[in-house]
Every structure is written in structure tokens, then in C-alpha cells.
Amino acid sequence: MVNWPELESKYYMQTIVRVPVTLMRGEGARVWDDKGKEYLDFVCGLAVNCLGHCHPVIAEALAEQARTLLQTSNWYYTVPQIQLAQLLVENSCLDRVFICNSGLEANEGAVKLARRYGHIKLKGAYEVITTMQSFHGRSLALTAASGYPSMHKPYVPLPVGFINVANNDIEAIKSATTEKTCAVMLEPVQGEGGVNVPDEDYLKKVREWCDRKGILLILDEIQTGVGRLGALWGYELYGVEPDIMTLAKGLGGGIPIGALLAKEKAAVFAPGDHNSTFGGNPVTSAAACAVLKYVIDNDIAGNVKKVGQYLMEGLEELKKKHSFITEVRGRGFLVAMEFNSDIAQDVLMACLEKGLLVNKVKPNAVRLVPPLIIGSKEVDRAIGILDKALSGIVR
Ligand SMILES: Cc1ncc(COP(=O)(O)O)c(C=O)c1O
């Protein structure tokens, strides 16, 4: 039998701390490793496989488009790209779309757009205010945007123009705003930072402040968009509309794609300002169209709202039973369980052994981001495995 981790350690750059399992195949909410062992997948490509693994709707859209037209330059019009843009606009509060290949690219586009806006409408303002514990991507600029000093350190000097302020603190945003500020960029719920849910009125206060100052509100919905929080877009839950929104992860259901959306007033790119070789490629766009249509037509966000509540109740029961769980938090299918010590890796390994994939989001917290299509049966199974795993943890 091939030892895949050994081969990986020989050939792959050693930049990823991996979970010791080689996944070979997936179907729905389940995956199988190279020894044929089955796992319930509550990581789902890190909040990506919203329809589960290998959903026929995605597989068929990909196969059909692969037989028809794989790639053209963006110098030409292609139908899936235009259809995806139309679908996004008709089902959100935004007016215009640019399609790219990842979350990072969507956020780079958002920052560039905000700077163009600053140059054109705000006397050259270029600074973007972001929050601590935010994660926006791994380019140099987005490393600076992300609120992790430890992430900044290995790559200094970083691009200027990003101010990281305290999370969930409107006064911190107000204090950091100057005549140089062109935008505030936030995740509706911070994902990589540990699933940090803001106060109910935080986003509304930020929206009001941005309006008062004439600056843009960028919502990074790369993790929260496409139904994950129990609404199609996270902003709906907080009663605000962003000027710019970025998407990736769930948009392709497993196909690499990102999107930058903007209100008409903020869509200030002129011809030649921005482009991408692969962005809006016919194949990825066709897959994303299929995903988005499925999510909308089947009210997948409604399922997340209902089953997400059930998941949260199950986790609360576990909290009552295992006193070292200090908090369960989240919205919809973006949830975390925090412990009173750094045992997340032990919990992850115990779950793995018992057939459940979870993500260590912090040394003392695990994150659950299951596919959006699961029901109470899968939740019961996950809670049962978690219970057994937690019962065996030696602290
Ligand atoms: C909120 C958020 N923004 C941006 C990104 C970066 O996306 P990508 O990894 O596709 O570049 C991520 C990835 O985890 C994310 O969660």
C-alpha cells in the first residue's frame, strides 16, 4: 500500500500541518480514507462543500461544460460567466459582479476597488480598517489586512494601508477613521478567528458610521455566504447591506471560484483596471451556477437555520455533560466549541479515530462546518461521536 504522507513529506513544500489521514473518495456528508474507513465530514473542505461531496448537480454541470467549452480569454463573452453574474445580482443586494478563482483574489479585488473609490471620490483615501482575529487571505496585502500580528511577522515589510482594530468594537473603528480611510472590511461572523459572533447591532452601527463618513463597507462573506449562517447571505441576518461583498468557498461547492460584488455606486473599475486569466472561466462558472441555483431553489439556507438550531441544542447538551467545555457559539452551520485548556488537537484526533472530521480552529476550540444539506440524522451521529470522544479525553 502506498504511504501517501511519506511521499508528501518528500515532494510537497512543508507548509501545511496536516491531519494524519489520506482521503480518497466522498459522497454526501461522508468521506473514505485509503484504508476504506468511513468518516462523517464536518469540515467539508473548510466550509466549501456546501452540497456535500460529489453532488450530481455539480458533477453534471462540470462534465457538460467540459465537453462544450473549457476556457477562453476574458476578451470574449462566455455564457456561464454572464449567467452566474445575473444569478448573483438577482439574488442579492449588490448590482455588479467580477468573478475570480479564490477568496484571496476576491478580497484583493475588493481592496483594489475600495482604493479606486478612494482615489476617485474620497480625495485619494486608501486605508482599509479591518479587525483583530479577522482572516482575509494570504497575499501580502491580505496578510496585512488580517488581524493576526503573528501572521504579519514572517513577511515584513507588508503593504501599507491596513489598520487592524479591536473586533466587535464600533468605537475602535470610529477612532481609527481618518481622512485617509476609504473602507471598513469585516467578516459578518469571523470564521478562522475562532467563530466570533458579533453583537446583534454591531454591523448596523458600522453601516451607520460608514454612511456618515462616506466610506465603503466591505463584507467578506467568503466563509459566511451561500447559506452557511442560515440565510443566503450573512448580511441579511444583521439588517445591513454592504457596498462590496466577497464570496468564494461555498459558491463553487468544491470548485475553486471567488466573486467580488459591488453596489453600482462602488463599482468604479474602468475598463483595464482589473482582470484575471481564469476568473469567470466557463467550467467553474457553470458549476457555481448549478450550486447557487440548487441552494436557492431548495431553500438550503432554511435547512441550515432549522438543523443548525438542532446542532446547537446538541452541543449545549454536551456542554452540560462535559464541564471542560466553556462555550458553544456560532450561527447556522458555522459553529465552535471552546474548552478550558488546549485540548482541541486531542479532541480532533479522538473524533478522527471514531469517524468524525472536525477542525481545530484554535488550540482550545474546534470548529464544525458541515455540508449545508445534512439533516438531524447526521447531527445525531456527530453529537454521539463527539460525546464519546470528549468522554475519553485525558486532561
Ligand atoms: C473569511 C475569509 N476570507 C478570505 C479567505 C481566503 O480564501 P482563500 O483561501 O480561498 O484564498 C478565507 C479562507 O479561509 C476566509 O475564511
Ligand 1 mean position, distance from CA 135 (Å): 7
Three-state secondary structure call for residue 129: strand
Question: Does 108 sit in the ligand 1 pocket, CB within 6 Å?
Answer: no
**Is residue 107 lining ligand 1, measured as CB closer than 6 Å?**
yes
Residue 261: half-sphere exposure toward Cβ, Cα within 13 Å: 27
Say which residues have a Cβ less than 8 Å from residue 2's Cβ, sequence separation at least 6.
34
* pTM value surpassing 0.95: yes
Question: Within 10 A of 74 (CB to CB), how many other CB atoms are there?
Answer: 16
User: Which H or E run contains 204?
Assistant: helix 202-213
Ligand 1 atom 9 nearest Cα: 103
137 CA: nearest ligand 1 atom = 6
What CA–CA distance (Å, rounded) separates 33 from 352? Answer: 11
- Which one of 48, 131, 136, 367 would you pick to mutate in the ligand 1 pocket, going by the greatest count of ligand atoms within 8 A of its CB? 136
Q: Counting every residue, how long is the chain?
A: 395
Tell me the residue ranges of DSSP E strands in 233-384: 244-247, 258-262, 325-331, 334-339, 356-357, 359-362, 365-368
What does each of the 395 residues of the chain score in pLDDT, given as a tens digit?
Answer: 999 999 999 999 999 999 999 999 999 999 999 999 999 999 999 999 999 999 999 999 999 999 999 999 999 999 999 999 999 999 999 999 999 999 999 999 999 999 999 999 999 999 999 999 999 999 999 999 999 999 999 999 999 999 999 999 999 999 999 999 999 999 999 999 999 999 999 999 999 999 999 999 999 999 999 999 999 999 999 999 999 999 999 999 999 999 999 999 999 999 999 999 999 999 999 999 999 999 999 999 999 999 999 999 999 999 999 999 999 999 999 999 999 999 999 999 999 999 999 999 999 999 999 999 999 999 999 999 999 999 999 77
How far apart are the C-alpha atoms of 369 and 42, rounded to whole Å? Answer: 5
How far is it, in rounded angstroms, from Cα 386 to Cα 239? 34
Q: Where are the alpha helices (DSSP H) in 30-128?
A: 44-47, 56-68, 79-90, 103-121
Pocket test for ligand 1, best of 222, 233, 244, 367 (most atoms within 8 A of CB): 222
Q: Is 389 in the pocket of ligand 1 (CB under 6 A)?
A: no
Q: Is the CB of 110 under 6 A from ligand 1?
A: no
Q: Say what the alpha-carbon torsion angle 379, 341, 188, 229 is, to the nearest 10 degrees.
A: 0
- Closest ligand 1 atom to residue 258 Cα is 10
- Assess whether the C-beta atom of 133 lies below 6 angstroms from ligand 1: no
- Calpha distance 12→230 (Å, rounded): 37
- Of 295, 286, 306, whose CA–CA distance to 232 is shortest? 295
159 closest CA partner among 189, 126, 188, 134? 126
Contacts by 375-382, CB closer than 8 A, 24 or more apart: 375/303, 375/307, 376/307, 376/310, 378/29, 378/40, 379/307, 379/310, 379/311, 379/314, 380/314, 381/40, 381/356, 382/40, 382/42, 382/311, 382/314, 382/356
